[in-house]
Structure 1
């Protein structure tokens, strides 16, 4: 067996609430529980994470004899040459790159999306092993020339033990966001306001749902779109589109919210709705399931893999069809209960103990590495 005592991680940037950052924190917890030395290294480190994440150049001090590096990749960056010169053998952990055509020509997002995919092509022979955090990401790597049988899918993304721990009262939503949330159904979407998330389709769905509710003399649902980007051109378009559809008083865009309010939104919304065209995983879908919020989503990218047997997954990319499904979910208590039960069963795939065993097995079979410690308890940090 290879005598590796340290498995560190690298990603270009980290941030509070960022999906890749949360993934690295969770993996670090698993690795430390196995007895490995494990640290996170990054370039751009916000002040709130400087006690948790180390500057990237610290990796230059480690040798190949006892150390491996998990290199997380979700966007291109300027450190390609530097990381190629490191002495430490590397493993790719791929989180997906949003296709560049979703971004405006000439924008930094588009440039780094294109660079990120080109770097993946260049690095095909550079890794001792490859982990994709979803089936969709594994398929994406295969299209980039990676041998599919060499890519292992392990959803090392989030510590389920840290999700859905608070139970704020529903009136807090009406006090914080809108008084009508006391009496009107709340539909929720969480995610950056950007073209590939297709929040405009959610507005069109809401318009159809209002027509249905009016005919049935039911309260008109409200739509909450939580996430950064509300001041971007697409964010302004969303507000303009809401005005065109006469939905101004039915749309709430609070921007990026803190953890406490986010949990309140998940736990007390009547449904989570998603019309996104591209999700490498779709962490808000998982967060909604943990909170017991039933999910209605269009069948794209990794969404059906993330939901498993949970949620209502719609093959038609049609706002009217989505409105009908949401309407049924709001009216039919038995359907709602069935969806929630399926979501709870699906969450079993993401339990920390199961993922710890998958990671340990992968280290053994792929890298010939046995953990220095014997414990598999992942309760510690």
Structure 2
């Protein structure tokens, strides 16, 4: 009988980075001959293949917990005092959500409290980035390995020509991509959330639009919380740029690739990124990056983009204008980005993850 490895995660959702990461670890382990069980807070798969945490016995050879928010899954681990491999994706500080969504703030606070308790049960910490790894070491976890998020860049996406000159954004609006292409398109990809600070990006775009009136800002991603989306739309109206800001919402993989290809620069004003998958996706697709230096951003981008220590609207706008107006700079950043993104190719990150797990899962074989 094959040894069992349990993969514990609060939920499995389509398009979610942690869920995709979990499934890719599952594939890796099963290819190596191990039996796996995905343990979730609430079962959502219609085929019933995921195991509800209430039925979890904690009897696997290794239990790997994905942790980035407070959860009942983590609480079960703590209650059972089960030794784990802690795969840490960082926890957004609760202060970002306190005035927007108090329940989410409580969940973040709970996740932080649970992290301290989980540290005492951790056999090995696996962190997406050195930034996250240091946080685990500060909690007293001595055995910490850095292994980036497993993510198949461009999974299911066409890699050549855009085809038709029209497309549909996440809100169901038909967009004329001919008008967008070449007009100076600034792209953001990720949740619309207070810690991502899209309000700062809209303010910077308002400055940019004074000397690039045909430019456009595209925000791709779900709103969390919804109130924050309303405030962003209100801000765009107050700054008189609402007609040039596209709230695309959640989009398909195919449409996401098209936004990467149609845009001229990816901008990120986030104040908390434990890793930053969209940064890597942009680089892999040859899209220059301008980002604020917060948390793991500089570590992820390295020299493949412009990383700013100051994100005041004028500073960000000038950096964006520089990229938009300098073809040679865009070419250089494009080449550096494609090369840098190879660090996170699935063939590389799978090997890093296997090295991080191998001695634990193979014990006794």
CA-to-aligned-CA distance 1:77-135 (integer Å, 9 cap, x gap): 23444323558642110111100110125711111101111011112220211111112
Show the 5 A alignment for 1:63-212.
Answer: 63-64=59-60, 67-84=61-78, 86=80, 89-105=83-99, 107-143=102-138, 145-147=139-141, 149-160=142-153, 162=155, 164-167=157-160, 168-169=162-163, 171-173=165-167, 176-177=174-175, 180-182=179-181, 184-212=183-211
Shift of 1:68: 0.8
- Looking at structure 2, the residues matched to 35 and 156 of structure 1 have their Cα atoms a distance apart, in angstroms, of 22
**Distance change >3 Å, CA 295–CA 81, structure 1 → 2:** closer
Distance 1:266 1:118 in 2: 38
Q: CA deviation at 1:75?
A: 0.5
Bigger shift: 354-363 or 161-170? Answer: 161-170
Q: Which of 1 and 2 has higher RCO (CA within 8 Å, sep 6+)?
A: 1
| 2:126 aligned counterpart, secondary structure | strand
Partner of 1:55: 52
- Residues 370/294 of structure 1: CA separation in 2 closer, same or farther (3 Å cut): farther
Question: Would the aligned equivalents of 1:270 and 1:330 in 2 still touch at CA under 8 Å?
Answer: yes
> Alignment partner for residue 46 of structure 1, among 44, 47, 52?
44
* TM-aligned CA distance change 1:141 to 1:211, over 3 Å: same
The total of aligned residue pairs comes to 358
Residues in 2 aligned to 1:52 and 1:247: alpha-carbon distance in whole angstroms = 47
Tell me how far apart the structure 2 counterparts of residues 31 and 161 of structure 1 sit (CA, whole Å).
22
**2:29 equivalent to 1:34:** no
Contact 2:41 2:72 in 1 (8 A): no
Q: Partner of 2:240: helix, strand, or coil?
A: coil
In the aligned structure 2, how far is the partner of 1:85 from the partner of 1:333? Answer: 57
Give the 3-state SS of the residue equivalent to 1:9 in structure 2.
Answer: strand
Distance in structure 2 (CA, Å) of the matches to 1:81 and 1:183: 51
Q: Which runs of 5+ in 1 are unaligned?
A: 215-219, 373-381
TM-score using structure 2 length: 0.89
Runs of 4+ in 1 over 6 A off after TM superposition: none
Question: Alpha carbons of 1:270 and 1:303: their partners in 2 closer, same or farther (altered >3 Å)?
Answer: same
Q: Is the 8 A contact 1:230 1:253 kept in 2?
A: no
Shift in Å at residue 191 of structure 1? 1.6
Find the aligned partners of 1:181 and 1:17 in 2 and give their Cα distance: 25
Give the RMSD, CA atoms, in angstroms: 2.6
User: What is the match of residue 321 of structure 1?
Assistant: 315
